[in-house]
Chains A and B, each alone.
Chain A
């Protein structure tokens, strides 16, 4: 089939236009659904930090269920700057923490979500970001009213080794963090270490690493330490 150059040109142009139009149409029509999925996923992560939402998979309408749970438990949210002062007029949910972490530390803003647990206690949920072995790891750490005791945590990853590092997104790993503290008796920031079997344990400040997933586990440790360090000014200003 030897077609003339004009034919080839017209053919290519028509093909490109048709394909681009169809794809643009599909992308536009589907975007609201995709956005909603992303929103639900984020809300679910925040809820997981306070041990809620684990049954969302069996709900009839996952999006509605997660929305309802989120609205029930997350009562307030605000944004604060590196100095620890709240910034009114900004929506915490819309802050993309991974984008903020790419900016200079003085240009960042951070979100915090306030949650009322079933027993009436007030929790502060902070986002955490870091690196694992194969890619980024992130999550949320919930602190009690004393802004010291951890009341819950959630971690997730992009491509850690299944069965090993990937286990950081399981409840058993995350439950370890409950009742651990960030500050010691004297008020110094220790954070929480993730220790292997042969390392001496610190009663209030350590949890067990995943066997065979040391690098990812240490990644969780530095993720918490580095992220929470950014929030120290805010914590100091709001501690009772």
Chain B
């Protein structure tokens, strides 16, 4: 049992949060990170969906890894991922309809989220099921962390709310002359925010800096 939560597995969970972050270091999963981060709630649901799909697809592919014929490897991976995403999409439509409308096509795009295929090829095909499951959760959380940070900033500065709670209004900021930053709601701002996050991350971790 102690093996389940070995220090190696702990690293699998924590590395993607910083040094091996899928978005800022591995440069994967960017597409959805930008579009769904206008507000925190859809970003959170998206992050949760990615964690679930990555973890379970890692688990399933790892369990099947010895039996998958080499020639149809990619297709099998895609089929498993697509099936899981469809499940998640159907569940969202059934139980959190409003959020699923906000996420619209981006739930389907989890299939092509490079993080999933990346982890399947780089980890699940060569490791045991439980380790792969943990790796999936770790990378999903690394992705989720960036999503939460960006959506928090965009929602607070762009709409004046946090998780739909009107923070700026309650603080009386509007009557003091504060105006919402319209640019924050626009997708390009998400790119710039991630650029700044990368700047901060690499200033603190010199070994991530790219050589000339």
Direct contact of A and B (CB under 8 A): yes
Show 11 A/B contacts (Cβ-Cβ < 8 Å), sorted by A: A1-B70, A3-B70, A7-B69, A8-B69, A12-B72, A15-B79, A16-B79, A26-B86, A33-B95, A161-B186, A163-B180
Q: If A1-B68, A3-B70 touch, does A19 touch B79 (CB 8 Å cutoff)?
A: yes
- Find out whether the CB atom of B83 lies under 8 angstroms from the CB atom of A19: yes
The complex places the Cα of A1 from the Cα of B12 at a distance, in Å, of 27
Tell me how far the C-beta of A87 lies from the nearest C-beta in chain B, rounded to whole angstroms: 31
Q: How many Å lie between the Cα of A139 and that of B98 in the bound state?
A: 17
Taking CB atoms, residues of chain B closer than 8 Å to A172 are none
Tell me the minimal C-beta distance from A47 to chain B in angstroms: 15
Of B86, B90, B159, most buried by chain A (CB within 10 Å of CB) is: B90
A151 to B50, CA, bound (A): 45
Q: Given the complex of chains A and B, what is the CA–CA distance between A19 and B75 in angstroms?
A: 13
Q: Tell which of B38, B79, B86, B95 touches A162, judged by Cβ atoms closer than 8 Å.
A: B38
Q: For B91, list chain A residues within 8 Å (CB).
A: 26, 30
Count of A residues near B, CB < 8 Å?
28
The answer to the question of B204 belonging to the interface, with a C-beta cut-off of 8 Å to chain A, is no
Closest B residue by C-beta to A156: B101
Q: Which of A3, A158, A159, A163 contacts B182 (CB 8 A)?
A: A163
Bound complex: CA A188 to CA B44 (Å): 51
Q: Choose from B72, B90, B95, B186 the contact partner of A8 (Cβ within 8 Å).
A: B72
- With a cutoff of 8 Å between Cβ atoms, the chain A residues found around residue B76 in the complex are 11, 15
A190 at the interface (CB under 8 A from B): no
Contacts of B79 in A (CB 8 A): 15-16, 19
A91 within 8 A of B: no
B53 to chain A, nearest CB (A): 14
Q: How long is the Cα–Cα vector from A8 to B75 in the complex, in angstroms?
A: 12
> How far apart are B138's CB and chain A's nearest CB, in angstroms?
26
Contact A26 B90 (CB under 8 A): yes
On chain B, the residues within 8 Å of A34 by CB distance are 90, 93-94, 97
Contact partners of B185 in chain A: CB under 8 A: 161-163
| Residue ID in chain A nearest B93 by CB atoms | A34
Which residues of the other chain, A, contact B97 by a CB distance below 8 angstroms? Answer: 34, 37-38, 40-41
* B2 beta carbon closer than 8 Å to chain A: no
B87 and A26 contact, CB distance less than 8 A: yes
Interface residues of B in 28-82 (CB under 8 A from A): 38, 66-72, 75-76, 79-80
B70 touches A163 (CB 8 A): no
CB nearest to B66 among chain A residues: A1
- CB of A95 closer than 8 Å to a CB of B: no
Interface residue? A59 (CB, 8 A) = no
Cβ of A27 within 8 Å of any chain B Cβ, yes or no, is: yes
Query: Chain A residues near B86 (CB, 8 Å)?
Result: 23, 26
Return the chain A residue nearest B65 by Cβ. Answer: A1
State whether B72 touches A11 (Cβ < 8 A): yes
* Smallest CB separation, A108 vs chain B (Å): 26
Which of chain B's residues have a CB closer than 8 A to the CB of A33? 94-95
Name the B residues within 8 Å of A23 (CB-CB). Answer: 83, 86-87
Whether B71 and A30, one on each chain, are in contact in the complex, defined by CB atoms closer than 8 angstroms, is no
Q: Smallest CB–CB gap between B104 and chain A, Å?
A: 8
